[in-house]
Each structure stands twice: as C-alpha cells, then as structure tokens.
Amino acid sequence: MTASKNHAARPKLVRRALDGVLLLDKPLGLSSNDALIKAKRIFLAKKAGHTGTLDPLATGLLPLCFGEATKFSQDLLDADKTYEATMRLGIRTATGDAEGEAVETRDVACDEAAVEAAMTRFIGDIVQIPPMYSALKRDGKPLYEYARAGQTVEREGRQVTIHALKMIACALPLVTFRVTCSKGTYVRTLAEDIGEALGCGAHLTALRRTGVGVLTLEHALTLDELAELDEADRDARLQPVDALLSTFPAVRLDDEACRRFLHGQRLKLAEVSPEHIEAGRVRVYAQAGGRLLGVAKAGEGVLAPERLVVTAS
C-alpha cells in the first residue's frame, strides 16, 4: 500500500475574498513576509500584501492589506513612519544593529546633555548613506549579498527628512528615542550617525514601529491574538479599505456619476459634492450608501479616476 493511501488526503483550504486592512503588531524575529503569510493563512484570505518591510529585529505596526486594499498599499509605503528605538553608544557593528558582529569599540565620554544636543543636529532634511546590509539593489543584486560576501560597494547619499527626534530615556551607554521620519529613512543609520557625531559610535539594539501615516498601534493585534479569535471576530477587527486614505479629501457622486466613474470616465467637478475642492488626490464615494468607489485626481475642473474599488468595502 502506498504512502498516499496510508494517510487520508488533507482537506484543501478554501480561500475567501476579503477586503480590509489589518493592523498587525509584528513580533521580534519574524520577517514581514513571514508575518504576512501567517496572517493570510489565519484569515484564509485569497489576496494580501504588506505596506513596507520591518526587519526581523524590529517589532510593531505592520499594516497588512487584504483584497481591494492592496491597490492602495503604495500610499502607506510613501507615508511618514514613527519609531521608538534604543541605541547602544560605544560599539559599532557590521550591520548597524545588534544582529551584526562588533567591528569597533570606543569609550563613551559624553553625558545626557551632549546626546540631546547631538540629536537636534539631525532634525530636518539630512543625507543618509544606505547601509550595506539592506535590500537596495546594485546591478540587480541586493546590497546585503555583497556585504555577506565581504564586499563593500559605493552608495550614493539619499535625502530623507527627520520630522521629530526626541530622547525618551537615557541610561548611558543606552539611549532610547522616538523618531518620526520620511519614507526611506534607515533608523539604524541614524543611530550610527548620532554615535559618530558624539565621537564614540553606536548601533541599534531595539526598534519598534508605532505609527505609519495616521495609523497607530492602538488597535493592532498580534498573531497569537488573531489566532484565538473566531472568524467573525477576526473579520470585525479589520479596518475598512479607506483607512489607508483618510488624509485625502472625500467627494461623493450621484448614481449616474458613479456609473461613469466606475467605467473610468473623467467627470466635471461640477458633478461632484462638494464642487469646490483643492487640486490633488481625493477618495470617492457613492452618495447613496456611502460605498468607497476608489481614488481620483482633482484638478483643472475635472475628476480623473486613478484606482477603482471593484467590490463593496
């Protein structure tokens, strides 16, 4: 008798269409993609994606998009992020964080006031050199592959913006701070640069993301918490698709304008409510029932569809 006959066939998982946004509190040691796979399996969702990676060393807010929400994940990739981070002064590592081997040790001669003063120099527009241990590509290959092979390649500096940077605890050589920054910012590079400004070097020992755009950890769930809920309760904890779009002004369309909009037709702004809106991206709803129809660009007297929602949210 063959092995296939010895064991009953496993029932095939039936995936379901699901639209919404999960605010996940990612655990330590799990990649963003692994967290996505586990959440997708828990929800039995057909389609899902994340909105930007968190390193395995990092914990905290990882918004996951299901179904139609995946169309708007780019908006969170472009959003500002807020982190709470701890750096250890006096030691530089190969990776800029606690996962790498120490490559240099120096005395920490500064005090708390000096750390605060150094941190203020990094508020505003700054230029960062991306770390070798990153997923940025050079000649089609991620930088971390060069780094693991013992190679260092030249990287161009990139401008990022540090909107806010504040020390929240100091027990030298450990310093904990909160930072709100633009997309593309490497917090471990920020820690290293602060350490260099202090003359002692530094590396990141902990990182927790607390905000992505207007989304926060307040309503986030862990994978373990999700697994303990039944299907109805889990679904109820999903944020609506337009949770990703809350910073955009809202316009509403009557039935005829809805039909034309969903066919990709441009509308005159005189046909929407309110008529007078600033030029830029807007979220579009049906006047009857309030269903989200998608995102459009308003300007020059017209409303031009950008991304449409196929199903009700």
- In the structure encoding, which two tokens stand for residue 56, read together? 């395995």
Query: Nearest 10 degrees: CA dihedral of 301, 296, 312, 11?
Result: 160
The answer to whether 189 and 181 have CB atoms below 8 angstroms apart is: no
Of the residues 19, 25, 34, 55, which is catalytic?
55
Is 55 an annotated catalytic residue? yes
- In the structure encoding, which two tokens stand for residue 34, read together? 């692994």
Distances (CA, A) of 1 to 7, 8, 10: 11, 13, 18
Judging by beta carbons within 10 Å of its beta carbon (0-12, 13-18, 19+), is residue 171 exposed, middle or buried? exposed
The answer to whether 62 and 24 have CB atoms below 8 angstroms apart is: yes
- Judged by DSSP in three states, 104 sits in strand
* HSE-up of residue 28 (Cα within 13 Å, Cβ side): 7
Distance CA 175, CA 85 (A): 8
Token look-up 């020992």 returns 205
Q: Which residues are catalytic?
A: 55
